[in-house]
Structure formats: C-alpha cells, structure tokens
C-alpha cells in the first residue's frame, strides 16, 4: 500500500493572520459609511487589535458618536512579498467586529479603539479560508514575522548564488534556464521559493531541517540545507 506524502510543516491559518497583522505597516478600515487608510496606527495586545486614532480625525468622531458606543468595522490587511515577483500579493486578511473605546493610559489626544473580533478570514492562493475568532486571539505571530521582509530582501539582493542552490534543492529537476528563482516567503519552518517561468509561476516549500525560534538561527539552517545539497551531488557522482 502506498504511503501518503508527509505533510510539510507550516504555520497555521491563525498564525498567518497574526503574522500579517503584526508585520503590516498599514490597513484599510471600512465602517457603515466611510473608508479609511490607517498608517502606523495599529498594534496587537493580548490577541486584540488596537487602533490609536488622533482625537481630531473623522474616525474618532464617528466612533464617539456610534450608537451604544460600538462601531461595526472591517479591517483589511494586505501581505506583499518584499522581493521582485510577478504577483507580490501573498495574502489578504479580513477582520470584522465591533470597535469600542479601550481603557488605555495613553496620549490624551489619542483615542484608542479595540476591535472585538466576530469573524476572520485569510485569502491565499485564490482561496478564502475562515478562521475562528478564538483561534486568532489565542495564536501568536510567527517568530520571524517582523524580520522576514529584511531577510528576504537581503537574500534576494546579495545572495543570488545561495537562492539558486536552494532552488535546486526544492526542485532538483529544474533547469535554471527555464525559471528564475525568488525567495518569496520565510517562516520558522522554512522557505517558500517562487519559480517564475516564461508563462506562469509555481511556489515550492523548502523546509528547514529543524524549525527555528528566532532570526539568529536561520543562518545555521540554511547552511544545513546547502550541506545536504552538497552530499546529494557527491552521492550522485559516486
């Protein structure tokens, strides 16, 4: 009887949502009648989204006048790959719930609003996947979420030789003349490499030998992957 292929470890949907929200510099917010683009105004504390809104803005006024003190709102985040690629949008996250004032000792000129989550979803690879609010609130961002963009940009810009070697590991039969390889995503379990062809593209997971807990451990895992590639080539020549 044939064995089912082993599942490649990767972050859960709830973790991915938390990672996108934590790493995002901006978000789109829609209320019943208005849309806002909020830049550098959100944080996540104890699993809840907080918006720090200047008190003299239309959003602050709308929240202050909301019936029963709550304002229905949809927060949307877009996860964009930090490297050159045909389709750089990796995921879209939607959080729907009720905004209400949070009790936070902060700048008196800032209104802090808390989103009490009712629904959440993440869109990846053309599929929208719902995630339970309790799952999102109990999850945490991937340990590399805040460093991922800088690390991938550095790898793509300064270490194309390493990227090509990783590409040969992820797709051993791939001819380098057929596809360009990009380091498209990175999490504690490994890389996602983007293979771009003349027409179309394909994303392939390349797991680390061992998951990492911090950015400081990534270099050792990359070296382990490259060493594995060298051993395979020697075995092939034997």
Is the pLDDT confidence value at 206 over 50?
yes
Is the pLDDT confidence value at 79 over 80?
yes
pLDDT, residue 1, reads 39
Is the pLDDT confidence value at 201 over 50?
yes
- Give the whole-angstrom CA distance, residue 130 versus residue 50: 21
Is the pLDDT confidence value at 235 over 50?
no
Q: Are 24 and 84 in contact (CB under 8 A)?
A: no
Rg over alpha carbons for the chain, rounded to the nearest Å, is: 21
Domain ranges of the chain: 13-138, 148-237
* Higher-scoring residue by pLDDT: 69, 30: 30
CATH for the stretch 148-237: 3.20.180.10
Is the pLDDT confidence value at 176 over 70?
no
Confidence of residue 8 (pLDDT cuts 50, 70, 90): low
CA-based nearest residue to 31, from 51, 55, 15, 48 = 51
Is the pLDDT confidence value at 175 over 90?
no
Q: Where are the beta strands (DSSP E) in the chain?
A: 26-30, 35-39, 42-45, 48-54, 71-80, 89-101, 110-124, 127-131, 180-187, 190-196, 201-207
Residues in the chain: 238
pLDDT, residue 4, reads 39
Confidence of residue 19 (pLDDT cuts 50, 70, 90): very high
Token representation of residue 33: 């009648």
* Higher-scoring residue by pLDDT: 87, 38: 38
Confidence of residue 77 (pLDDT cuts 50, 70, 90): very high
pLDDT, residue 103, reads 74
Read off the pLDDT of residues 125-172 as tens digits, 9 standing for 90 and up: 889 999 999 999 999 999 999 999 999 999 999 999 999 999 989 887
Confidence of residue 47 (pLDDT cuts 50, 70, 90): confident
- Give the whole-angstrom CA distance, residue 76 versus residue 232: 44
If you average pLDDT over every residue of the chain, what do you get? 89
14-52 burial code (b ≥16 CB/10 A, e <16): bbbbbbbbbbbeebebebeeeebebeebbebeeeebbbb
In order, the DSSP letters of 105-136 are ---TTEEEEEEEEEEEEEEETTEEEEE-HHHH
Span 13-138 CATH architecture: Roll (2.30)
- DSSP helix/strand/coil, 72: strand
Q: Once rounded to an integer, what is the mean pLDDT over residues 52-65? A: 91
Confidence of residue 102 (pLDDT cuts 50, 70, 90): confident
* Higher-scoring residue by pLDDT: 173, 31: 31
pLDDT, residue 99, reads 96
């Amino acid at each position: 009887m044939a064995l089912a292929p082993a599942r490649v470890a990767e972050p859960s949907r709830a973790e991915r949502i938390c990672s996108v929200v934590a790493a995002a510099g901006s978000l789109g917010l829609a209320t019943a009648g208005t849309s806002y683009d909020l830049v550098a105004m959100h944080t996540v504390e104890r699993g809840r989204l907080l918006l720090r809104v200047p008190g003299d803005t239309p959003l602050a006024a709308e929240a202050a006048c909301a019936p029963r003190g709550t304002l229905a709102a949809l927060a949307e985040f877009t996860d964009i790959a930090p490297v050159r690629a045909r389709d750089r949008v990796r995921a879209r996250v939607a959080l729907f719930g009720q905004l209400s004032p949070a009790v936070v000792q902060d700048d008196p000129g800032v209104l802090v609003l808390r989103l009490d989550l009712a629904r959440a979803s993440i869109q990846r690879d053309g599929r929208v996947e719902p995630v339970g609010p309790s799952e999102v609130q109990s999850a945490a961002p991937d340990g590399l979420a805040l460093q991922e963009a800088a690390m991938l940009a550095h790898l793509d810009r300064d270490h194309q030789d390493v990227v090509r070697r990783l590409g040969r590991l992820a797709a051993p039969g791939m001819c380098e003349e057929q596809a360009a390889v990009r380091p498209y995503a990175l999490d504690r379990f490994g890389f996602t490499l983007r293979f771009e062809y003349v027409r179309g593209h394909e994303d392939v997971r390349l797991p680390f030998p061992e998951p990492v807990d911090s950015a400081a451990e990534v270099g050792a895992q990359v070296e382990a992957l490259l060493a594995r590639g060298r051993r395979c080539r020697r075995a092939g020549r034997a």
